[in-house]
Chain A
Amino acid sequence: MIRYVLGRLISLVISLIVASIVIFAVIEVIPGDPAAFMLGVNARPDTIAALRAEMGLDQPVILRYFNWVTGMLQGDFGRSWTYKTPVADLISDRIWVSLPLAIYALFLSTIIAFPAGIYAASRRGGAGDITIMGATQLGVAIPNFWFAMILVLLFAINLRWFSAGGFPGWDNPLQAIKSLTLPAIALALPQAAILARVMRSSLLDMLGEDFIRTARAKGLSRRQALWRHAVRNALIPVLTIIGLQFSFLLAGGIIIEQIFFLPGLGRLIFQSISARDLIVVESVVMLLVFVVILVNFAVDIAYAAVDPRLRTKT
């Protein structure tokens, strides 16, 4: 087990180092001088040079990379060029929108997908199975941004149950959760559809396994065999998908955050890219990569908890 965890940890660190180099390099080659962009078309060359110096862009690339990485290791993400505030502050404000939104969406997606998937598997070929699978086909096919617009049209413009967007802040938790509800549903339903399908097919695979047949032969009913033996074993592929989905929900809220004008990380990245606030882009992307890698690490460890064979291997 320790060797397994250590191996995962080493791969985590290597992934982070590679990611930091790739992110920095990609952002380095994006066309468009940030200083010239910020000062606009009437700026004089000496003004642009003064701003470049102020932003530290006159230093060599290697030195800037080194400063960036060592800064991050000490928790210093640098200072936003456009907002002129520490990037860490920007991130810590925004993460309280994006993280709860991702968790909320994941929660919704899981509580929809698990019962739906298990029910469909247990009624394989029946009307319930066909209905659920039909609905999930639709869920997979519908893009979440389109679904989001439909939700706004129905619940914000026609019924007036929710506001069309924005985030009031956590001072009023009920209002905050309410304002995240439509975005969370928009994010969750397509994910739930995928998850339900994975849950169902994974369960069906398990139901064909020898150990289920053995359990049935020992006198367990179909339902008992399903709950006691199949569900737990079917969880491994489902966990993988959940891990991937969480990363997607955290980073992939960009479009949903635009539609609901939520001040989250996605919107921060979006604004920073178009404003060429490269230091913010670098740091936020790096943070997201870190979270994704960390989630994958957690999923790997969770595999080991679910599947004892992994603990002894390697």
Chain B
Amino acid sequence: MYHIKTIAAATAIALCAPAALAQDSITVAIQLEPPNLDPTGGAAQAIDSVLYSNIFEGLTRFDADGAIIQGLAQSWDISDGGLVYTFNLAAGVTFHDGTTMDAEDVKFSLDRARAEDSINAQKGLFAGITDVTVVDPLTVQVTLDQPNGSFLFNMAWGDAVIVAPESIENIASNPIGTGPFTFTDWVQGDRLEMTRNESYWGAAPALASATFRFISDPTAAFAAVMAEDVDVFVGFPAPENLPQFEADPRFQVLVGNTEGETILSINNKMPPFDNILVRAAVASAIDRQAIIDGAMFGYGTPIGTHFAPHNPDYVDLLGNSPYDPEVARALLSVAGYPDGFTTTLKLPPPSYARRGGEIIASQLREIGIETEVSNLEWAQWIEEVFTNKDFGLSIVSHTEPMDIGIYANPDYYFQYDNPVFQALMEELNATTDPAGRSALLVRAQTIISEDYVNGYLFELAVATVAKAGINGLWVNQPTAAVDLSGVSWSN
């Protein structure tokens, strides 16, 4: 036995030694597999998680902290009162198939996204564009129908990446972009591989190759990391296991923030929730910390409005709805429901909703509101709750960055219809100076908080478990992305 062990150890050392000297490949696991590889043709976040800023790039991009920085556009001028954006493109950029990336490709990409038959899931990002003009191969001019303070932000989304007409046909299975990594293989259901783009126009990445694996089951995720089958797990699905990894010197745990405002959505048009007193009662009945501790094992930041706490414009409005069941019961009485009422609570699959739903149901029971809880699949949720608005309450994390604008749409599933807020959003869209925008955003957050539109619970946290010695991983998720361009191993 001793001999076998010695031989095994020697073999292991012999096998590992060369790899330890020049570790330049990485295996990254994420929970969901992208359904296809076209970031411009589907809403699945997993597409961006794998491809964003690895394979595809846009005019602008998000950096690790969510700031908008240059992408393929190296600089830009805004003229005509915010109506015309002139982008100066980086020179010498080629797609992975060798074709040149120039202004024609930008025009093609933007025109394709806003076309009538476009299947871009975020077509709204391009709605204000009236014209895209090629000035010269490295200059492109975009004209808007009205000033849009978030236009550069919109162009940073994964749905706005630049694609080429030469490779568009098979983009869903063979993505050809301009990024630092080139797609090499996708074994559907198992893994996706990419290698360093040796002719990348920007700084060359340290990693020579990367493999993405897709492990959806939380137990399997735990096993894969513990067995060191994967080097990194971004969006680790079992928060209860994180302390174990933190205590293990083989691993590092990064807990960061996301753009996911997790809310108890309220159907504002459905009685009795059309009464602001009832909504206020619901808000006071919620003990946010109990939900964060019980459903998320303590990971998450309480929020009092629909805005990310790490955003510089965030206002702390938790004081509008502190946890107080007495106040909640009193509000219900004044509203005419001294004995409470019964409503539906429809929950999508993520654990924040399923676990959080049980806790919220019991908190609401405290003040006399009985909930009929039903668990839905995502496709069902989109049909019943989101499209048909057939719900009283739901729990969902709104993961799109800077999405407070959804409150200006009276047809949005929670059906908040406030002309004052809608006017405020129009003003915000037309405002480009930062101080003015900031003031408007503060007002917007305050209005929805004071109207108790939804129950504001917490900002979703994201956990990354990685082997010790890996540097440059994003801690936060300003957009769904596993940006490997700056990742390296230290020896």
Contacts and interface: CB of A to CB of B under 8 A. Distances in A.
A93 B187 contact: yes
Given A33-B387, A261-B217, A157 B223 contact: yes
B216 interface: yes
B203 interface: no
A128 interface: no
Nearest to A90: B188
A271 B33 contact: yes
Interface stretch (A11-19, A41-49, A135-143, A198-206): A41-49
B124 interface: yes
A42 B378 contact: no
A99 interface: no
A200 to B, nearest CB: 34
Interface string B372-403: 00000111101110110000000000001000
Interface stretch (A20-28, A80-88, A225-233, A294-302): A80-88
Contacts of A94: 189
Contact of A83 (B188, B215, B386): B188
Given A36-B383, A84-B36, A84-B173, A163 B229 contact: yes
A156 B227 contact: yes
Contacts of B119: 39, 47, 50-51, 54
Contacts of B377: 32, 273-274
In which size bucket is the chain B interface? 35 or more
Interface residues of A, number: 53
Given A43-B123, A166-B190, A259 B379 contact: no
Interface string B31-67: 0010110100011100000000000000000000000
A153 B219 CA distance: 10
Contacts of A274: 349, 377-379
Given A85-B173, A165-B224, A261-B224, A36 B189 contact: no
Given A31-B384, A41-B386, A83 B379 contact: no
A51 B382 CA distance: 16
Interface stretch (A56-64, A115-123, A245-253, A262-270): A262-270
A90 B33 CA distance: 14
B189 A263 contact: yes
A32 B189 contact: no
Given A82-B35, A156-B227, A263-B190, A32 B43 contact: no
B118 interface: yes
B400 A261 contact: no
A30 B377 CA distance: 11
Given A164-B220, A165-B229, A37 B35 contact: no
Contact of A31 (B33, B117, B187, B380): B380
B398 to A, nearest CB: 8
Interface string B194-228: 00000000000000000001111101100110110
Given A42-B400, A90-B188, A271-B189, A261 B213 contact: yes
Interface of A: 30-34, 36-44, 46-47, 50-51, 54, 82-85, 90, 93-94, 149, 152-153, 156-157, 160, 163-167, 169, 258-264, 267-268, 271, 273-277
